Amino acid sequence: MADKPRKLPQEVFAPWEDPEAKPLIQFRNVTKRFGEFTAIDDLTLDIYEREFFALLGPSGCGKTTMMRMLAGFEAPTEGQILLDGQNIAPVPPNLRPVNMMFQSYALFPHLSIWDNIAFGLKRDKLPKDKIAARVEEMLRLTRLEKFARRKPHQISGGQRQRVALARSLAKAPKLLLLDEPLGALDRKLREDTQFELMDIQEKTGTTFVIVTHDQEEAMTVASRIAVMNHGKIVQVDTPARIYEAPANAYVADFIGDVNLIEGTATRTGEDRCSVRFAEAADPITAECTADLSDGIAVTYAIRPEKILVTADRPADRANALEGQIIDIGYLGNISTYHVELPGGQMIKAAMTNSTRLDRRDFTWDDRVWLSWRETAGVVLTE
Amino acid sequence: MRRVSWFNLTSLTFGFAFLYLPMVVLVVYSFNSNKLVTVWAGFSTKWYGELFRNEAFLDAAWVTLRVALLSSTMATVLGTMAAYVLVRGGKFFGRTLFSGTLYAPLVMPDVILGLSLLLLFISIGLDRGMVTIVLAHTTFAMSYVAVVVSSRLVSFDRALEEAALDLGCTPLDAFRSVTLPIIAPAVISGWLLGFTLSLDDLVIASFTSGPSSTTLPIKIFSAVRLGVSPEINALSSILIGIVTVGVLTFSISSKRAIMKRMREENRAET
Ligand SMILES: Nc1ncnc2c1ncn2[C@@H]1O[C@H](COP(=O)(O)OP(=O)(O)O)[C@@H](O)[C@H]1O
Ligand SMILES: [Mg+2]
């Protein structure tokens, strides 16, 4: 991690900062191989109670495999998974206090919505009226009362997704696994459902682990995000810190838009250094950690929205570089300027369109100044 | 509506004639009052009456029915289990061999199958009778059931079973409450297939039947060798009637189910 964790006030939910807190789930050096192929590679991870934990990574990086190991459909090749301090390897899926919402929803086509939700409760041999009450509660929670008597093929995709959620929530599991739960929904419905999920999680106090390959979704819902690549966890942190303080260039590039500038670092102060990336351009001044050695190759990462585009050189900014606008991308609320610096380095800068398009200050081939603060970007050594 | 061309009409007529003319002739002659099958002497239902007084035929019919019910039911249970293991069992020792041998009775000539079963029953000292016919029919009907059911299981979403396990089912529970209801149409088709195969099997039954247990096809075949009788015509007409009613009910009810489902889906969309 780039800098030290700050002490947070008591009411903020952050059990991972508390050395006393006992994790609900612990992955201890878990490796999972399918034949020769290593899907999960020596992974160690703690997830705490009441967390909304997101697994984020490209397709094939092992997210579903982790979920399936938690649900009990795959066993680790090496290492242990502990739930509440107990090794869960010998516990079959039907005896785990874990429920999973499947990527494909996996609703039972021969049962009505009502019976789908009641399915797990009936296995617990609960009395009939208890089951009915719980199902009604779940139907209310997911706003499906009107569809209780229908079969899964008679409702829309969004409704099916809610049925799958209601079914997995009905047994009030300790841990709920959501495997790309919103993948099939269009944007609007997706956003609504994300907030619905967060609401449900708050009401029920269940621990959620959600798999997604959509970084915006992870940022919206999660208390913490684990960014994965090739069966390893690259960084685990809160959404804000993943975004503002990525551990390396992979994370920075994976989450959001970023400029990655390669150069060499020279120490200039106690926690200051300068990054030289081209002969023709001034070096960049940045914050960096104390253990950085001189002359080391680094990647400087800075988000486009942190860069100010102006016609004249601003006086009060640590970094200011002149360049030429090569391209402008108009996205409605913002415009992205692609600016070429001396030496050929391209920089993306995003500016809010506070004025109408026809009143814009800059156009193609204009010479502009790009400027940002010392603390706006991070120096990455990996 | 498009007009039917002469060519289509002709091929349709010939096709149907080819298929059904023999049966029509058979049914018509079953109402012939003459003892000589091919000489028409007026309408009569007396051969049907004769038939129901013929103990030998009634016995054979009763044996056939019991054999078909028993063997198709056993074949359905065994065939479904075999299909499940083959599709879901993952890799196990001898899997390829097992699936190969399971399908062998489908391509094996009936004569060879019958002969080998006969030899087996003799060598283990099992007296030929209804039991041996049931066993023999179960053997080959099971292969048909396995084929039908496994082709359904291949397209069955595994996640449904996992969801059932996840919600607290034991594997057996999951099979009973999720897998079986969903693959039920295939299992029923397999059962029907086994039932009809057993009903009309002549070759294997004649190898494995004993003097005390003759099935209807054997009875008809041996009776016909002594000359076609109007009674046989009547019996065959009844069989045709039963099959026709069965096929019609089956196709009408499945069509109804499809229509109902389509209506429901339309309603769900609006
Ligand atoms: N049962 C399996 N047999 C062989 N390979 C598998 C199996 N399940 C997953 N894999 C492989 O493991 C890797 C991780 O898969 P998965 O966990 O599904 O990735 P994702 O992050 O997209 O959910 C993939 O490369 C996949 O091909
Ligand atoms: Mg996946």
| Domains of chain A, earliest start first | 15-249 (3.40.50.300), 257-380 (2.40.50.140)
By CB atoms closer than 10 A (0-12, 13-18, 19+), residue A310 is: middle
In chain A, DSSP assigns E strands to: 25-34, 37-47, 52-56, 78-83, 86-87, 98-101, 175-179, 207-212, 224-229, 232-237, 259-267, 272-276, 284-287, 297-302, 308-310, 319-330, 334-340, 346-352, 367-372, 378-380
Q: Which atom of ligand 1 is nearest to the CA of A68?
A: 17
Q: Is A278 helix (H, G, I), strand (E, B) or coil?
A: coil
Cα atoms found within 13 Å of the Cα of residue B202, Cβ hemisphere only: 6
Q: C-alpha distances in angstroms, B133 versus A15, B79, B198, B203?
A: 71, 18, 9, 11
Does A153 touch chain B if contact means CB atoms closer than 8 Å? yes
State phi, psi for B102 to the nearest 5 degrees. Answer: -65, -35
Interface test mutation site (partner B, options A69, A100, A101, max chain B beta carbons within 10 A): A100
Token pair for residue B210?
Answer: 């004993």
Which residue in A has a C-alpha nearest to residue B158's C-alpha?
A106
Q: C-alpha distances in angstroms, B163 versus A92, A109, A118, B81, B84?
A: 13, 12, 13, 21, 18
Rounded CA-CA distance B21/A294 in Å is 99
The structure's pTM equals 0.80
Residue B199, C-beta contacts closer than 8 angstroms, at least 6 positions apart: B64, B68, B216, B217
Rounded CA-CA distance B174/A110 in Å is 13
For residues B78-99, give the mean pLDDT: 85
Degrees to nearest 5, angle at CA B151 with B145 and B155: 140
> DSSP assignment, residue B43?
B
For residues B231-258, give the mean pLDDT: 83
Does A124 touch chain B if contact means CB atoms closer than 8 Å? yes
Does B163 contact A102 at a Cβ distance shorter than 8 Å? yes
Closest by CA to B63, choosing from B203, B212, B190, is: B212
Token pair for residue B99?
Answer: 């699936």
Q: How far is the CA of B93 from the centre of ligand 1 (A)?
A: 25
Predicted interface score ipTM higher than 0.85: no
Question: Are A66 and A73 within 8 A, CB to CB?
Answer: no
For residues A25-54, give the mean pLDDT: 95
For residue A66, the ligand closest to its alpha carbon is 1
Q: Which atom of ligand 1 is nearest to the CA of A63?
A: 21
The string of pLDDT tens digits covering residues B35-71 is 887 788 888 888 898 888 888 888 898 999 999 999 9
Q: Tell me the percentage of chain B whose pLDDT exceeds 90.
A: 36
Ligand 1 site residues (CB inside 6 A) read: A 34, 37, 39, 57, 59-65
Does A276 touch chain B if contact means CB atoms closer than 8 Å? no
User: Quick check: B235 pLDDT over 90?
Assistant: no
**pLDDT for the residue A303:** 93
User: Quick check: B270 pLDDT over 50?
Assistant: no
Single-letter amino acid code for the residue at B160:
L
Confidence of residue A177 (pLDDT cuts 50, 70, 90): very high
Closest by CA to A180, choosing from A200, A198, A161, is: A161
Question: Are B205 and B131 within 8 A, CB to CB?
Answer: no
The string of pLDDT tens digits covering residues B191-222 is 988 998 898 899 999 999 988 788 988 988 88
User: Quick check: A329 pLDDT over 80?
Assistant: yes
Task: Find the chain B residues whose C-beta atoms sit closer than 8 A to any C-beta of A.
Answer: 157, 159-160, 162-170, 173, 177-178, 181-182, 261, 264-265, 267-268
Question: Are A352 and A346 within 8 A, CB to CB?
Answer: no
Neighboring chain B residues of A103 at a CB cutoff of 8 Å: 159
For residues A68-90, give the mean pLDDT: 94
Q: DSSP per residue over A321-369, as a string?
A: EEEEEEEEEE-SSEEEEEEEPTTS-EEEEEEE--S-GGG-S--TT-EEE
Does A119 touch chain B if contact means CB atoms closer than 8 Å? yes
User: Quick check: B253 pLDDT over 80?
Assistant: no
Neighboring chain B residues of A138 at a CB cutoff of 8 Å: none
Number of A–B residue contacts, CB under 8 Å: 71
Long-range contacts of A47-50, Cβ-Cβ distance < 8 Å, separation of 24 or more: A47/A23, A47/A207, A47/A209, A48/A15, A48/A16, A48/A21, A48/A23, A48/A24, A48/A207, A49/A15, A49/A24, A49/A174, A49/A207, A50/A13, A50/A15, A50/A205, A50/A206, A50/A207
Confidence of residue A28 (pLDDT cuts 50, 70, 90): very high
**pLDDT for the residue A190:** 82
Which residue in A has a C-alpha nearest to residue B184's C-alpha?
A110
Rounded mean pLDDT of chain A? 89
Rounded CA-CA distance A49/B44 in Å is 86
Question: Are A382 and A235 within 8 A, CB to CB?
Answer: no
Cα of B77 to nearest chain A Cα, Å: 21
Q: Name the residue with the closest Cα to ligand 1, atom 25.
A: A60
DSSP H helices, chain B, are 6-30, 46-53, 55-88, 95-107, 110-123, 130-154, 158-166, 171-174, 180-200, 203-208, 216-225, 230-269
Q: Name the residue with the closest Cα to ligand 1, atom 3.
A: A34
The string of pLDDT tens digits covering residues B166-192 is 999 999 999 999 999 999 888 988 898
Residue B31, C-beta contacts closer than 8 angstroms, at least 6 positions apart: B43, B44, B45, B47
The string of pLDDT tens digits covering residues A232-243 is 999 999 999 999
Single-letter amino acid code for the residue at A240:
A
Rounded CA-CA distance A167/A121 in Å is 9
For residues A81-102, give the mean pLDDT: 94
**pLDDT for the residue B5:** 85
The string of pLDDT tens digits covering residues A257-312 is 899 999 999 988 888 889 999 888 889 999 887 678 888 899 999 999 999 999 88
> DSSP assignment, residue B175?
I
